Amino acid sequence: MKTSLWTPGNGLIDRVLPAGAFATTPRKGMELVNLAKLGIMPGLGGGRAHGTHVAGDVVTQTASGTDLNVVWRDFLDLLNAANSSRQALLRFLTFDVTNPTELVAQAGGGVDFERSTEFGEPVGARIQPTYFNLGYTFFWYDLAARYTWQYLADATDTMVNSVADAAVEAWLRLQVTEVLRTIFNNTNLGVNINQQAYVVYKFYNADGTVPPSYKTNTFDGTHTHYKTTGGAGANTNVLEATDLDVLVIDDFESHGYSISGGYRFVLMANKANSDTIRGFRSVVNGGTGRYDFLPAQGQPGQIMLQNQNIVGQVQAVPNTLDGLDVIGTYGPLIIVKDDYMPASHVLSFATGGSESLNNPVGFRQHAQTSLRGLRLVKGRNPDYPLIDSFWSVGFGTGIRQRGGGIVLQLASGTSYTPPTEYA
Amino acid sequence: MRQIDWDKPLSDDDIDWLRQAGIQRIEERIEENRQRFAPDEDELDDEADDETDEDEKDDGLEDMTRDQLKEMADDKDLTYSAKATKAELVELIRNSYPQ
């Protein structure tokens, strides 16, 4: 036998020897090959080119020299960071829920004292807050991140990371879009949860639900928080101070939402409508509203007439509300500029603060903790999870506080139409 | 915001807009406006009379000839003088309408 033949341990030639090609009995002109000595069992073929992959067989680094498993771990770190803190807009609009339905007490209602008599027993206080059985949607969303090994061989870290960044951005945008669609679309949704039909409600929308009464304020089943401003002529699509006074502030307060009750009122508008609000002045100050717009700290100042004095407490609010871009206040409303808002609508809501129980939208995630937030699901090869991996997230939304938000459409008509962006 | 003139009768659009505006006790105000500007019974009677007068004036008799009126009176078996004028024939026919 020639010494150049492959034997276990010498590794000279990487050969594949089909088992059937070997003679098992001596023939003329042929050598009997001792397969056992060669380390090849009869009936089996192959050598180092076949069998289990090892690290040297595939691309393990990006073009810039970073181990792909390090990239994978970086993605998981990115996810942890992205999942640990929700966007400011969502923190103020939503409250996390995990159940498909909830009984939620609505603002209003209460108990009454009665006048005492000498021998009488006081009536028992039986608190009967109005509960609504509220449903939440739930959908899974996914996005595959498919890399070929050729791509990974030539891609730099930045190129690979950009795919992850895009996925995270898409997830953040998806959450905002779905929450705003829940808010702006005024039609209740029917969902089937575990073979049971539930209704995913919107803000009060004249669906026959009678809001709880508050003090002397009563409501009927036609009450709606989706309104048109009804302006005419040049004011058809223009937000006015009186819109906020009558259609927003009065309505919130009639339900019992108040600053003293722990709520803050936020009005969100796009840049154009925010700029309009900057010009709102009270009647005593030459305008048409009840209040004056006051710029937030750090916002551009405004020149006022010198003969006017401050009446009442003037306190400039910070120019950020836990990340939201605050331009100032109009009465009790904190004005937030955000171009997620459509030009044709403005949104007002009462919030109990960041991720407060009193926030208007329920953000439903899976009951299993491990299935919450954005997840990166491994690909088929456990040694190289990045290849064929995909991004997955499951969540749903529904209104929790039906009186906690008011949407104004800047239109002359008498019936509300959702904006095309969130219809 | 829609300008509502409470010193005039509310239009249907006014009422529709007010009902979606979420203003407290708005139904009471709408009803007050309705009652304030609702015509009283005498006015309604006058309007009804006016409508009757209009109906009479619009019955086309004035445009008919004397012979056509006489023919119409004959059809209704009305008695009239052979010398009756056109105005007398019109009045005779109108008086024959069911009250």
How much is the pLDDT for A319? 86
Best probe of the B interface among A186, A235, A414, by most B CBs < 10 A, is A414
Q: Is A170 within 8 Å of A143 (Cβ atoms)?
A: yes
| Number of separate domains in chain A | 2
Other beta carbons within 10 Å of A412: 17
Query: Under an 8 Å CB criterion, which residues of A touch B?
Result: 206, 217, 222-232, 240, 242-243, 246-247, 250-251, 254, 406, 412, 414-416
Of B3, B22, B24, the CB nearest to A227: B22
Closest CA to A280 of A272, A288, A270, A268: A288
| Average pLDDT over every residue of A343-370 | 88
pLDDT in tens, A271-329: 999 999 999 999 988 899 999 999 988 877 776 666 666 666 667 788 888 788 899 99
- When pLDDT is averaged across residues A352-357 and rounded to a whole number, the result is 78
Q: Which residues, in sequence order, are CB contacts of B53 under 8 Å at separation 6+?
A: none
Any domain includes A63? no
Residue A242 has pLDDT above 90, yes or no: yes
pTM for the full predicted model: 0.71
Distance to chain A for B19, nearest Cα, Å: 8
The C-alpha atoms of residue A345 and residue A350 are separated, in whole angstroms, by 17
Residue A34 tokens, joined:
């001792």
Segment of A97-111, A393-407, B29-43 carrying the highest mean pLDDT = A393-407
Q: Is A11 a domain residue?
A: yes
Using pLDDT thresholds of 50, 70 and 90, give the confidence band for residue A4: very low
- If you measure CA to CA, which chain B residue comes closest to A410? B1
In chain A, residues with a C-beta closer than 8 Å to the C-beta of B23 are 246, 250-251
The rounded distance, in Å, linking the Cα atoms of A314 and A324 is 21
Answer whether residue A38 shows pLDDT above 60. no
Rounded to the nearest 10 degrees, the angle between the axes of helix B86-95 and helix B66-75 is 30
B17, A254: Cβ pair inside 8 Å? Answer: no
Tell me the average pLDDT of chain A: 79
The per-residue pLDDT for A1 is 42
Which of these ranges, A151-155, A358-362, A396-400, has the smallest mean pLDDT? A151-155
pLDDT surpassing 70 at residue B49? no
A333-337 vs A264-269, strand pairing mode: parallel
Dihedrals φ, ψ of A390, to 5°?
-145, 155
**Which pLDDT value is given to residue A417?**
96
Domain boundaries, chain B: 12-52, 58-96
- Give me the torsion for CA of A394, A396, A400, A402, rounded to 10°: 160
Question: What pLDDT shows up at residue A269?
Answer: 97
pLDDT greater than 50 at residue A57: no
pLDDT tens digits along A160-196: 787 788 888 888 889 989 999 999 999 999 888 777 7
In percent, how much of chain A has pLDDT > 90? 33
Is residue B61 helix, strand or coil?
Answer: helix
Q: Which is nearest to A290 in space by CA: A262, A346, A351, A248?
A: A248
Nearest to A242 by CA among A280, A276, A286, A269: A280
Is pLDDT at A382 greater than 60 in this prediction?
Answer: yes
Phi and psi angles of residue A196, each rounded to the nearest 5 degrees, phi first? -115, 135
Residue A273: exposure state from Cβ atoms within 10 A (0-12, 13-18, ≥19): buried
Dihedral of CA A412/A417/A422/B1: which sign?
Answer: positive
pLDDT, residue A10, reads: 46
Q: What's residue A106's pLDDT?
A: 67
Contact A334, A259 (CB under 8 A): no
The amino acid occupying position A261 is: G
Range A110-123 burial, b when 16+ CB lie within 10 A, else e:
eeeeeeeeeeeeee
For residue A220, the enclosing domain spans: 162-422
Of A80 and A364, the structure prediction assigns the larger pLDDT to: A364
pLDDT at A59: 64
Half-sphere exposure of A100 (CA within 13 A, CB side): 13
Is residue A70 a part of any domain in this protein? no
State the pLDDT at residue A52: 41
- Which of A29, A57, A85 is where one domain is finished? A57
Give me the interface pTM, i.e. the ipTM.
0.71
Selected residue with higher pLDDT from B46 and A125: B46
| A217 contacts in chain B (CB < 8 Å) | 24
Instruction: Give pLDDT, residue A69.
Output: 77
User: Mind spelling out the 3-state secondary structure of chain A?
Assistant: CCCCCCCCCCCCCCCCCCHHHCCCCCECCECCCCHHHHCCCCCCCCCCCCCCCCHHHCCCECCCCCEHHHHHHHHHHHHHHHHHCCCHHHHHHEEEECCCEEEEECCCCCCCCCCCCCCCCCCCCCCCCCEEEEECCCEEEEEEECCCHHHHHHCCHHHHHHHHHHHHHHHHHHHHHHHHHHHHCCCCEEEEECCEEEEECCCCECCCCCCCCECCECCCCCCECEEECCCCHHHCCCCCHHHHHHHHHHHHHHCCCCCCCCCEEEEEECHHHHHHHHCCCEHHHCCCECCCEEECCCCCCCCCCCCCCCCCCCCCCCCEECCEEEEEEECCEEEEECCCCCCCEEEEEEECCCCCCCCCEEEEECCCHHHCCCEEECCCCCCCCCCCEEEEEEEEEEECCCCCEEEEECCCCCCCCCCHHHC
CA A123 from centroid of its chain's CA atoms: 47
Chain B hits for A226, Cβ within 8 Å: 20
Model pLDDT, residue B50: 64
For residue A246, the chain B residues in CB contact (below 8 A) are: 1, 21, 23
CB contact burial A12-27 (16+ within 10 A = b; e otherwise): eeeeebeeeebeeeee
A331 and A199 in a common domain: yes
CB nearest to B13's CB, from A206, A250, A414: A414
The tens digit of pLDDT for each residue in A245-284 reads 999 999 999 998 888 888 889 999 999 999 999 999 999 8
Distance from CA of A417 to the nearest CA of B (A): 13
Among A325, A244, A252, smallest CA distance to A280 is for: A244
> CA-CA distance, A263 to A254, in Å (whole number)?
14
For position A406, what pLDDT does the model report?
97
Could you tell me if residue A217 is inside a domain? yes
Tokens 């056109």 -> residue: B86
Give the pLDDT of residue A244: 97
